[in-house]
Amino acid sequence: MSGQSLTDRIAAAQHSMTGSAISKAVCKATTHEVSGPKKKHLDYLIHCTNELNVSIPHLADTLLERTASNSWIVVFKALITTHHLMMYGNERLMQYLASRNTLFNLNNFLDKAALQGYNMSTFIRRYSRYLNEKAMSYRLAAVDFTKMKRGADGVMRTMNTEKLIKTLPIIQNQLDALLDFQPNSNELTNGVINTAFMLLFKDSIRLFAAYNEGVINMLEKYFDMKKNQCKEALEIYKTFLNRMTKLSEFLKVAEAPSSLLEALEQHLASLEGRKLKDLSTSSRSSTLSSAVSSLSSTGISLSRMDDKTEDNRLQQHKARHLQEKSTLKFISLV
């Protein structure tokens, strides 16, 4: 189904009559058109999140209501709109979403009526799980990992050991939910799932950059940790290597050296009174230095990729704006 349906038009008219501009914008952003939400509606909703006289609970609840639709298109676009506002809207929206006991309850969603319903319903269930995890991460850490300050003096690089070991598993859970989306190139041909994927791709870059910097910090602190902290850190690092492999299709950057595991396991073994094969202090130090250097290079690659992605987004918006301006000028001449 393409184009605005009669239901879309009636719903928009109802919101116009009741004077609910937010509800009307949400309705127009989540029509039955098989394309991503239109920029003008997303921009208006972003603007609303920054207005103090706008009720954030009302905005969020209006979006959540749209996910009660039976149409995969409407539900998918409601999730995309919510994700877009999480990324570019005022932080108070994220704070409200994170404060809710439940967000999206779409684990059993299935659209049997549409041709693509079964396939797209799978991605809706996965996408909603990621957004739930994104909100939960904010609730647990009081920060959006995709927006935090990065670099040598960034949040993850300066975090103390105790907080770091608690925070990295939260990032891992969010990243796991993101990587579970797993579309193939053929499934990205329609505008709805493609729009969702691009938002996820951008989140993956920023999320993994925070993850990467946290691991660098952890490695630098590892040989000064207590025994129980070493155990947790070693498991975190093993998980990190596995996630890097899964992220290769998204990021295409260098993997962390798995040889570092030998140095970490040796150190933990010495704390537990065990002994693995001999590994000198100088060898450990050299391996650790190499690993940190490799991960730092990965961080630089991620930052460049993030900047490039943002530049592309701005260029696309600028081109679209110029096209709309030219169209309006042409119409006025006619």
Domain ranges of the chain: 15-142, 154-255+298-315
Question: How far is 128 from 177, CA to CA, in rounded Å?
Answer: 9
260: tokens are 């570092």
The predicted structure's pLDDT at residue 252: 47
Question: How far is 225 from 228, CA to CA, in rounded Å?
Answer: 8
Q: Are 269 and 223 in contact (CB under 8 A)?
A: no
The predicted structure's pLDDT at residue 260: 64
275: tokens are 């002994």
- Please choose, from the candidates 46, 41, 22, 45, the residue with its C-alpha nearest in 3D space to the C-alpha of residue 31: 41
Ranges of residues in the chain with a pLDDT under 70 are 1-19, 249-261, 263-264, 267-268, 271, 273-284, 309-334
The predicted structure's pLDDT at residue 246: 82
98: tokens are 């994170």
The predicted structure's pLDDT at residue 275: 57
- Please choose, from the candidates 282, 266, 165, the residue with its C-alpha nearest in 3D space to the C-alpha of residue 215: 165
Per-residue buried b or exposed e for 3-36, using 16+ beta carbons within 10 Å of the residue's own CB: eebeebeebbeebeeeeeebbbbbbbbbbbbbeb
Is 2.40.50.1020 the CATH classification of the domain at 15-142? no
Q: Would the CA dihedral through 211, 213, 216, 218 be positive or negative?
A: negative
Which conformational region is residue 19 in: left (phi greater than 0), alpha (psi within -120 to 50 degrees), or beta?
Answer: left
How many helical (H) and strand (E) elements, i.e. helices and strands, does the chain have? 13, 0
| Packed helices 91-99 and 72-88: angle between N→C axes, nearest 10 degrees | 120
Question: How far is 118 from 110, CA to CA, in rounded Å?
Answer: 6
297: tokens are 């290079």
The predicted structure's pLDDT at residue 187: 84
With tokens 């799932």, the residue in question is 193
Matching CATH number, 154-255+298-315, of 1.20.58.150, 3.40.50.2300, 3.10.129.10, 3.20.20.150 = 1.20.58.150
The predicted structure's pLDDT at residue 241: 86
Q: What is the pLDDT of residues 288-303, one digit of tens each?
A: 777 787 778 777 777 7
